């Protein structure tokens, strides 16, 4: 099995997050909508799917990433509901009957195919917002009638705020979520900043609707158990403490990069040493250098200066002091102006000791390599 996926961590590839799982389970049972929030690639989607697997309620995973319009959002939600109907009713004839009934009043045609039911939208004349609200209400009534609790997981939900200029769809979903006793709502999105705008702004419909669960990195003692078990299985031996330490320090326990480095190490025939681990990471950094540089080209010169400073200095708590701004060759107010968007866009975070740190260990590694300079 793949212990270190670089896509979703499902089944046995999922490590820890016990507290978060407990809290999600509690909220699901308690009918409280949930918001999962974290910087990119910390494990929101994996966590949500793991919790559904545990609670064993039928769920629809609605990934809005590719939605470009209100109609797309409506379709993705309806297809998600279609998925759920398939989980509530598995006999094909009964499913066709159930789905046909369900979608008829929304003027949507249903055909059953091998992969499940397919919806035909072309006759649909109602506004997207109305269809969304109606279909959520109908789903609720159906679940209630069948005495089943179901879950709607709306991922990449920031898209809803991006493709619409009004908040009507948000208002419709809020209305449905607030009234619901049989559909549990889980929201997540990879753009933390846009998600926070939707959920923290008192003028927006989602203000104070959800229990908010913030994901942090997984701690090293949990990873240690997990990694050593995987090492035993692969090489019949445990990694040396120094090797573990270097893996943790290079990836800074960032879930994606930890998996990335370990997936490369687990391709080796022999148990990796500290040096090999370090070399493989350097190789990975080298291979990704130009992609990172291209991304950083989009930032302002001052933002880049600041990132380079953070990548190459250890003492990064008093960023605005004379001494620090002099090293950076910036004024205190330009540091202030540069740091805000970097925090907002998750390039930088403030750690518990109040140190400003680069969030992405790959970006940090590229910036601290000697060959990097501002063009």
| Residue ranges that bind ligand ATP, judged by CB under 6 A | 5-6, 8-9, 13-17, 38, 40-46, 190, 255-256, 259
| Residue of closest CB approach to ligand ATP | 43
Query: Rounded to the nearest whole angstrom, what is the least distance from the CB of residue 20 to ligand ATP in the complex?
Result: 9
Q: What is the largest CA-CA distance in the chain?
A: 75
Query: Rounded to the nearest whole angstrom, what is the least distance from the CB of residue 67 to Mg ion in the complex?
Result: 15
Query: Rounded to the nearest whole angstrom, what is the least distance from the CB of residue 146 to ligand ATP in the complex?
Result: 30
Query: Rounded to the nearest whole angstrom, what is the least distance from the CB of residue 40 to ligand ATP in the complex?
Result: 4
Alpha helices in 31-167 (DSSP H): 44-55, 70-88, 92-104, 128-145, 158-163
40 binds, among Mg ion, ligand ATP, none (CB under 5 to 8 A by kind): ligand ATP
42 binds, among ligand ATP, Mg ion, none (CB under 5 to 8 A by kind): ligand ATP
Q: DSSP for 190-234?
A: S-HHHHHHHHH-TTSTTTT-SEEEE--PPPHHHHHHHHHHHHHHH
For ligand ATP, the closer of residues 41 and 146 by Cβ is 41
> Running DSSP on this structure, what letter comes out for residue 348?
E
Query: Rounded to the nearest whole angstrom, what is the least distance from the CB of residue 236 to ligand ATP in the complex?
Result: 22
Non-local (6+) Cβ contacts of 30 within 8 A are: none
For ligand ATP, the closer of residues 38 and 277 by Cβ is 38
Contact 250, 264 (CB under 8 A): no
| Segment 23 to 62, residues that bind Mg ion, using CB under 5 A | 45
For ligand ATP, the closer of residues 44 and 75 by Cβ is 44
Nearest to 186 by CA among 151, 225, 223: 151
Contact 2, 263 (CB under 8 A): yes
For Mg ion, the closer of residues 45 and 191 by Cβ is 45
80 binds, among Mg ion, ligand ATP, none (CB under 5 to 8 A by kind): none
For Mg ion, the closer of residues 74 and 155 by Cβ is 155
For Mg ion, the closer of residues 45 and 51 by Cβ is 45
Tokens standing for residue 8: 């979703």
5 binds, among ligand ATP, Mg ion, none (CB under 5 to 8 A by kind): ligand ATP
325 lies in the site for Mg ion, by CB under 5 A: no
3-state helix, strand, coil in the chain (%, to 5): 55, 10, 35
C-alpha 311/C-alpha 360 separation (Å) is 10
C-alpha 116/C-alpha 90 separation (Å) is 9
For Mg ion, the closer of residues 45 and 302 by Cβ is 45
Interface residue list for Mg ion (CB under 5 A): 45
């Amino acid at each position: 099995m793949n212990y270190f996926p670089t896509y979703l961590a499902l089944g046995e590839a999922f490590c820890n997050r016990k507290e978060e799982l407990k809290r999600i389970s509690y909220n699901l049972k308690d009918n409280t909508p949930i918001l999962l929030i974290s910087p990119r690639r910390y494990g929101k989607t994996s966590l949500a799917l793991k919790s559904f697997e545990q609670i064993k309620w039928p769920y629809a995973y609605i990934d809005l990433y590719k939605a470009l319009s209100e109609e797309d959002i409506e379709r993705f939600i309806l297809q998600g509901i279609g998925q759920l109907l398939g989980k509530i009713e598995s006999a094909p004839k009964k499913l066709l009957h159930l789905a046909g009934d369900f979608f008829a009043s929304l003027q949507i045609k249903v055909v059953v195919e091998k992969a499940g039911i397919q919806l035909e939208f072309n006759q649909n004349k109602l506004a997207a917002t109305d269809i969304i609200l109606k279909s959520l209400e109908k789903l609720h009534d159906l679940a209630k009638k069948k005495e089943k609790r179901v879950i709607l997981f709306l991922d990449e939900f920031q898209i809803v705020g991006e493709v619409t200029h009004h908040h009507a769809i948000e208002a419709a979903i809020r209305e449905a979520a607030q009234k619901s006793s049989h559909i549990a709502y889980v929201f997540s999105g990879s753009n933390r900043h846009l998600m926070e705008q939707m959920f923290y702004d008192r003028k927006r419909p989602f203000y104070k609707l959800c229990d908010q669960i913030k994901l942090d990195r997984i701690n090293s003692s949990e990873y240690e158990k997990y990694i050593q078990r995987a090492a035993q299985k692969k090489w019949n031996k445990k990694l040396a403490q120094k090797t573990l330490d270097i893996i943790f320090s290079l990836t800074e326990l960032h879930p994606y990069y930890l998996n990335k480095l370990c997936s490369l190490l687990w391709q080796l025939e022999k148990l990796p040493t500290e040096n090999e681990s370090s070399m493989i990471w350097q190789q990975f950094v080298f291979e990704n250098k130009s992609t990172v540089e291209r991304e950083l080209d989009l930032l302002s010169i001052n933002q880049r200066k600041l990132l380079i400073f953070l990548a190459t200095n250890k003492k990064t708590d008093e960023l605005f002091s004379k001494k620090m701004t002099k090293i950076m060759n910036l004024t205190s107010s330009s540091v202030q102006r540069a740091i805000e968007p970097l925090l907002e866009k998750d390039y930088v975070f403030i750690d518990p000791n109040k140190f400003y740190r680069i969030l992405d260990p790959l970006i940090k590694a590229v910036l601290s390599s000697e060959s990097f300079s501002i063009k």
